[in-house]
Amino acid sequence: MFVGPVDRSVALSAMLTAAIRRSLSTAPLHAFDAPVAGSGKSKLVDIATLIANGRLAAVIAQGRSEEELEKRLGAMLLAGEQVVAIDNCESPLGGDFLCQMLTQQVLRMRVLGHSEVPELPTAALVTATGNNLALVGDMTRRAILCRLDPNCERPELRKFSSDPVATLRADRPKHLIAALTVL
């Protein structure tokens, strides 16, 4: 599943970072890439989100343009989301707003339909998933990448002996305590 040990480390980093993201001044984008759909990218994001807040990741699409992504990211920050999951990226991922979101503690963004420009704290874990995900521009130095490869043509047909999402839902406090203990 994980291509190498670095990829396993990025997945662990996402889980640990999700648990304490609000206490960190900044955190990199955690990106999950695979050659085919059904490889487990979104499952890893769900696991990190479950540890952090007890629910599955609320995902957003990348959109057709950088401006569209900026509006979606701003809405997630306005909502106070703990994890921002950009799911199924089909275009190269980058852009000024996303880069600023990863390296600044506070941003200002115009609220759609209003002249207001509130301060938005950026204390959310930001993740991205995609098949053959490409990071561009400054994003290449503001992200860490986990590569998965199921080594099969139809990974969605695989059978597993356990379900990590069900395990986490059954006893989230134990896993959150373990994450905090590791840290």
Burial level of 150, CB count in 10 A (0-12/13-18/19+)? middle
Q: How confident is the prediction for the chain on average, in pLDDT? A: 94
What gap in Å lies between CA 58 and CA 133, rounded to an integer?
20
* b/e code 20-49 from CB counts within 10 Å (16+ = b): ebeeeeebbbbbbbbebebbbbbbbbbbbb
pLDDT average, residue stretch 143-149: 98
Please list, in sequence order, all residues whose beta carbon lies within 8 angstroms of the beta carbon of residue 134, skipping any fewer than 6 positions away. Answer: 91, 92, 93
The pLDDT score that the predictor gives to residue 44 is 97
The pLDDT tens digits of the residues spanning 78-137 come to 999 999 999 999 999 999 999 999 999 999 887 777 777 888 999 999 999 999 999 999
**21's tokens:** 């993201």
pLDDT average, residue stretch 13-39: 97
**What CA–CA distances, in Å, run from 81 to 60, 65, 161, 164?**
12, 22, 32, 23
pLDDT average, residue stretch 35-60: 95
The pLDDT score that the predictor gives to residue 110 is 73
The pLDDT tens digits of the residues spanning 48-88 come to 999 999 999 999 999 999 999 999 999 999 999 999 999 99
pTM for the structure as a whole: 0.94
Q: Of 93, 17, 88, whose CA–CA distance to 48 is shortest?
A: 17
Q: Are 53 and 168 in contact (CB under 8 A)?
A: no
The pLDDT score that the predictor gives to residue 171 is 95
The pLDDT score that the predictor gives to residue 139 is 96
The pLDDT score that the predictor gives to residue 118 is 83
Is the pLDDT at 33 greater than 80? The verdict is yes
pLDDT average, residue stretch 22-49: 96
The pLDDT score that the predictor gives to residue 152 is 92
pLDDT average, residue stretch 166-171: 94
Cross-strand pairs, 143: 29
* Number of residues that this document lists for the chain: 183
